[in-house]
Amino acid sequence: MDLLIRDATVVTGRRRTIREGAVAVEGGEIVEVGDAASMRRKYARGYEKVDAKGKVLIPGFINTHQHAAMSLLRGYADDMPLDAWLQQRIWPMEEHVTGPDVYAGALLTAAESIMSGSTTVNTMYHYKPERNEAEPLQMRV
């Protein structure tokens, strides 16, 4: 689908901001970014138009360090210093994490990443099953 997103404030990856800007998309790829007036003329026909007045278009975020499956442990004893939190709470809890738990946590993190504008993520979570995969994760507070 060809698309023209117009009348937005467009922040480019080149530290440039175009007030009343537009972005042309063809086949899922950005083909041009420019001022809305000239882009409306150039892409007048065959493009679905999206009025983005009052909105800001920005490049997607890239998260270079994430622990995807740990979203399930969010808020678990988060009032502790890092070393104590890891050694006393997180690592003992992770001994009970199963493949399905990792999958569910990674799906949750993926959905949250998409909703926050991340287009690329690099997870640092390592999982090596060493026990019965049928045992579910149970948090003990």
Tokens standing for 105?
């946590």
Q: How crowded is residue 4: how many other Cβ atoms within 10 Å of its Cβ?
A: 23
- Write down the pLDDT at residue 32: 95
Average pLDDT of 79-89? 91
Using 50, 70 and 90 to split pLDDT, how confident is the model at 141? very low
- CA-based Rg of the chain, rounded to a whole angstrom? 22
The pLDDT mean for the chain works out to 87
- Write down the pLDDT at residue 133: 55
- Write down the pLDDT at residue 37: 95
In this predicted structure, the answer to whether residue 77 has a pLDDT above a threshold of 70 is yes
Q: Read off the pLDDT of residues 39-54 as tens digits, 9 standing for 90 and up.
A: 999 998 999 999 999 9
In this predicted structure, the answer to whether residue 17 has a pLDDT above a threshold of 80 is yes
pTM score over 0.75: no
Domains and CATH numbers, the chain: 3-57 (2.30.40.10), 61-123 (no CATH)
- Write down the pLDDT at residue 127: 75
- Write down the pLDDT at residue 104: 92
21 burial via Cβ count (<10 Å: 0-12, 13-18, 19+): buried
